[in-house]
Amino acid sequence: MATFNQERVEHALNELLVRIVPEDPSEDESAANQRFEAAFDFAIDELSVAGQPSVVPDINHIASLIERRVTRANDGAQQTARFHNLFSRLVSQPVLEQKWRMLYFLLQLSDLPPATDQPAPRDPRARTREPTTPSKHTSAGAQMHESPAFREAFAKPGLSQLPVNDGSPRASPRPAPEADKPEKRKERRSQETSKEQATDTEQHKALAGPTEPSLLRDLPFTLQGLSSKNLVFPSSTALKLPATLPVPLVSLLHTLAEPSLLYRGLAEFVESTEGGLVGQSFRSALGKELRSYLGLVATLEGQIRRALSQLDEAQPHNGIGKAGVTLKRCVIWTREATMGLRLMSLMVEESKGKKGGQLISLIHSFSLSHGDPYVGAFAERLLSHVTRPFYDMLRQWIYDGELADPFGEFFVSEQSEDDIREANGQEGKGGATSVWEDKYKLNEKMIPTIITEEFANKVFLIGKTLNFIRYGCGDAAWVDTYSKEASKELHYGDTANLEQSIGDAYKTTMARLIDLMANKFKLFEHLQALKKYLLLGAGDFIAVLMESLSSNLDRPANTQYRHTLTAQLEHAVRNSNAQFDSQDVLRRLDSRMLELSHGEIGWDVFTLEYKIDAPVDVIVTPFGSKQYLKVFNFLWRVKRVEFALGSTWRRCMTGARGVLGTVSDKVGSDWKKARCAIAEMVHFVNQLQYYILFEVIESSWTELQEALNKPESTLDDLIQAHAKYLTSITRKGLLGSQSTDFTGQLHELLKTMLAYKDAVDGLYSFSVAEFTRRQEHAAKIETRTAAGRWGLSEKDSLDSPDPFGPKRSSRADPDSPFPPPLLKIGDDNSSEDDVLPALRKRLATLVVDFRARITVLLGDLVHQPDHDMRWLAMVMNFNDVYQPVRRRRKVDKKREREKETPQPTTAIKTAGGERA
């Protein structure tokens, strides 16, 4: 009986026995009730011990057996069609669950024999279930089976009338009141059964737990995360269900518990106050979605209350199915809301540790890469609220140049003084360069995916430009006017309007900044002045300055004075075309001395300086000023060598027609070699100057002009173009090569040429001294001859055999018509035989050293990747008078040493082997 519904079985069996148990008119009421109870208990016992059927519970198999039985009748085809119709209607009924048992029961009933013959049952389990009444009158059993009343009792329509027991002594009809005994017995049995059913129902309800209506009554509170009588929240992440609920209800409640727990967690997140502006906006958007969810819960609560008011206790399950609201329907109604809550919970979990642009990128990823259109639409709806603080910060940045980001959520960040000092070292960049390059930084991690990286760079440049115009250029009035005229409301989704706004702002701000730099702060005039004065573009100014300073700069460096150099600078300005430049440019031009070292002269420490102030120093940075100073010092040294060689060459050319021609028999060959060497040096210096001034500086200047005048250029473009200009000058100007030290080579070559110039000056002094000696000797002979004496005597030769000796009294004679020599050669022990060979040796050594260094320099230039440097090597050696030699680098030498290292070891081993 464990598999039967006890109440339904007893009720059905009671109704069955009332119909089939025959009445005995001779019995009294108590005996009849006892017999009925005995039959009822017998039926219950039989059902309890019956067990499961021996066949497989297959509804199709039972249907085929019944169909086979039906086809045996005379009208088999018609009966079969009728059976198929009834069978299909039975299968389609969703209410009936025990369909197979019904068909099996009908099949077993069809196996019962007719009332006339009773064959033995084929199966002990298939024996007839005729209700028998255990009675003392066993002899009357056969007669009762044969009686018409018994046959009528087991007929299909049941008892048509009250049976009359013919064999009873009380054959006469009973009075009318006695005819109500079966009905009274039935009512009594029904009352007892109802009492038992009520008791069992109460016990069943106590064991089965809350009903579905009571659960529906608590459901609105559960969906809001509130505990109720039947559904309790022990914690924020758990919902406790009654232990006695049936499995179908537990499954439904599990499904409904998900939105309840999700709402509870999301409500706690929304109520928190952590995070920045974008984070709070995210919480606000989630709160709006939760309010929509609560609207659904309110609607659902109204439907539940309306349905509960229409319940009918007389119907199965109180008629809740007909009321229109069940737990299963609530699951379906909350399915879309559950998906939204699940999505919001996922966003909340992944948003931990994210802020600003990162949070926007997270939400945007759901609409960008998710295939579900519901998820995409939900994310887009959230983005329209979450991005409002971001677009407010963006609008203030691109229209006012101000960063309103208290929580660091924007992709532009402002750096503190400590961060700038740590990034640039203790010195720092200073000036407007620091404001432009270091004050604001672009944080690529915070760029949201709703904008591209190029778009973000443009936005960053717009705001930085406005901020620089306001604070660096002092033009805050224009920024305020521009903000009032151009400011627009920005919001998510309006991509075309946003791009147009950014494009217009970009063009306007860049044009204004370039106009300020060009017209107000005279950027191009300053660059032109730097080229003229520091890159030696003004040749007349440099020539006058060098001529006026040459006498002062030949003296030691510690004897130079600032006011003297400044006066000579002003003299050079007044006597050259520099006087026509603006006063602002001339005011910035100044001369100063570099750090002094022992043994240096004025040429080594003199330099020009051009002062650059803000905001122009954002382009001509302090590092750029150092590069200009480096180029000027190099060009000034080359110019000094050119000036010195030119002075010596002029002296040689003018002396060749006078003094030097007289002593050509003694030093003529030396002067020929000297003039050739000086010509080589002058050619080298001229080609070097031409290359640097024209091929390097002028060509780079042309490229700079093109870059500066390019339409829609930005300040970063100007900075980059100027940096490229300086790099080109220093690299192509032999000052910035990383592979070869051209600066050191040129410095040694210039020193060699200056030393050779000093040696040539010594040769010239010797030639003048020799010319003076010969003139004195000729004058003495002429005077003596006029006096009638011998022109020369042995005494003259003994008195002064050597004009360079210590006994030359005539050199100190104040009455001598000849001036003293320019250079005193030799000391007390020197003589002509010692001075001239030393000069010749010195000149020859310097020429050899110069040519050796030239060949090495040409060898390095020939192998440079830059075609301009290779062209310089060709110009310097156009007739192949030098044989370029490339120096062996240290790496090559080290490799050769490593290759040569095993050879001595092998030789030693071989020798050892021979000895062995």
Q: Give per-residue pLDDT as tens, 456-508.
A: 999 999 999 999 998 888 889 999 999 898 888 888 888 788 888 888 888 89
The single-letter code of the amino acid at 347 is: M
Mean pLDDT of 76-89: 82
pLDDT at 359: 92
Whether 234 maps to a domain, the answer reads yes
416 and 535 both lie in a single domain: no
Confidence check: pLDDT of 7 > 70: yes
Whether 178 maps to a domain, the answer reads no
Whether 86 maps to a domain, the answer reads yes
Interatomic CA distance for residues 706 and 337, integer angstroms: 63
343 and 426 both lie in a single domain: no
pLDDT at 307: 83
Q: How confident is the model at residue 36 (pLDDT cuts 50, 70, 90)?
A: confident
**Number of residues that make up the chain:** 916
Domain total of the chain? 5
At which of 520, 550, 585 does a domain end?
520
Q: How confident is the model at residue 19 (pLDDT cuts 50, 70, 90)?
A: confident
The two beta strands, 232-235 and 238-240, are antiparallel
Short-list 733, 531, 535, CA closest to 639: 535
The rounded Cα 407 to chain-centroid distance in angstroms is 19
Confidence check: pLDDT of 207 > 70: no
74 and 7 both lie in a single domain: no
Q: How confident is the model at residue 209 (pLDDT cuts 50, 70, 90)?
A: low
Task: Select, from the ranges 20-34, 37-51, 111-125, 245-259, the one with the highest average predicted confidence (pLDDT).
Answer: 245-259
Short-list 672, 683, 606, 671, CA closest to 646: 683
Confidence check: pLDDT of 810 > 80: no
47 and 57 both lie in a single domain: no
Indicate the range of 97-106, 391-400, 756-765, 903-912 predicted with least confidence. Answer: 903-912
478 and 498 both lie in a single domain: yes
Q: How confident is the model at residue 697 (pLDDT cuts 50, 70, 90)?
A: very high
73 and 102 both lie in a single domain: yes
More confident: 444 or 175: 444
60 and 41 both lie in a single domain: no
Interatomic CA distance for residues 671 and 652, integer angstroms: 8
Whether 891 maps to a domain, the answer reads no
pLDDT at 504: 87
Q: pLDDT per residue over 288-331, tens digit each? A: 999 999 999 999 999 888 888 877 665 555 556 566 788 888 99
537 and 608 both lie in a single domain: yes
pLDDT at 163: 43
Confidence check: pLDDT of 759 > 60: yes
At which of 570, 592, 620 does a domain end?
620
Confidence check: pLDDT of 908 > 50: no
Confidence check: pLDDT of 165 > 80: no
Interatomic CA distance for residues 560 and 553, integer angstroms: 8
pLDDT at 187: 53
Tokens of 445: 């991690």
Structural domain boundaries, residue 602: 523-620
Confidence check: pLDDT of 755 > 50: yes
pLDDT at 174: 39
At which of 595, 620, 645 does a domain end?
620
Contact 720, 522 (CB under 8 A): no
- The 10 Å Cβ neighbour count of residue 298 is 11
Whether 847 maps to a domain, the answer reads no
The single-letter code of the amino acid at 231 is: L
Mean pLDDT of 152-164: 44
Confidence check: pLDDT of 424 > 80: no
Mean pLDDT of 790-815: 51
Confidence check: pLDDT of 61 > 60: yes
Query: How far lies 893's CA from each of 277, 548, 750, 863, 898, in Å?
Result: 65, 49, 28, 18, 9
- The 10 Å Cβ neighbour count of residue 439 is 18
Interatomic CA distance for residues 492 and 630, integer angstroms: 53
Interatomic CA distance for residues 139 and 410, integer angstroms: 107
603 and 497 both lie in a single domain: no
Contact 247, 209 (CB under 8 A): no
Mean pLDDT of 143-156: 47
Short-list 303, 307, 379, 306, CA closest to 334: 303
Confidence check: pLDDT of 406 > 80: yes
Whether 151 maps to a domain, the answer reads no
- Class of residue 752 by CB neighbours under 10 A (exposed 0-12, middle 13-18, buried 19+): buried
Helices (H), 209-356: 212-223, 247-271, 277-308, 320-323, 327-333, 335-350
Confidence check: pLDDT of 552 > 60: yes
Whether 695 maps to a domain, the answer reads no
pLDDT at 155: 46
pLDDT at 897: 57
Confidence check: pLDDT of 41 > 90: no
pLDDT at 770: 85
Q: Which residues of 860-870 are buried (b: 16+ CB within 10 A; e: fewer)?
A: bbeebeeebbe
pLDDT at 532: 92
336 and 232 both lie in a single domain: yes
pLDDT at 297: 93
Mean pLDDT of 238-244: 86
pLDDT at 434: 64
245 and 303 both lie in a single domain: yes
Place of tokens 């148990």: 21
Short-list 241, 183, 189, CA closest to 210: 241
Q: How confident is the model at residue 736 (pLDDT cuts 50, 70, 90)?
A: low
pLDDT at 795: 66
Whether 339 maps to a domain, the answer reads yes
Confidence check: pLDDT of 527 > 90: yes
Confidence check: pLDDT of 454 > 50: yes
pTM score, two decimals? 0.63
Mean pLDDT of the chain, nearest integer = 78
Place of tokens 């003596």: 784
Interatomic CA distance for residues 678 and 674, integer angstroms: 6
Q: pLDDT per residue over 333-343, tens digit each? A: 999 999 999 99
Q: pLDDT per residue over 476-489, tens digit each? A: 999 999 989 888 88
Query: How far lies 342's CA from each of 335, 339, 713, in Å?
Result: 10, 5, 50
Indicate the range of 113-117, 453-457, 667-671 predicted with least confidence. Answer: 113-117
Residue % of the chain over a pLDDT of 70? 76
More confident: 760 or 594: 760
3-state helix, strand, coil split of the chain in percent (to 5) is 70, 5, 30
540 and 442 both lie in a single domain: no
Positive or negative: CA dihedral 873, 874, 877, 883 = positive
Mean pLDDT of 199-221: 71
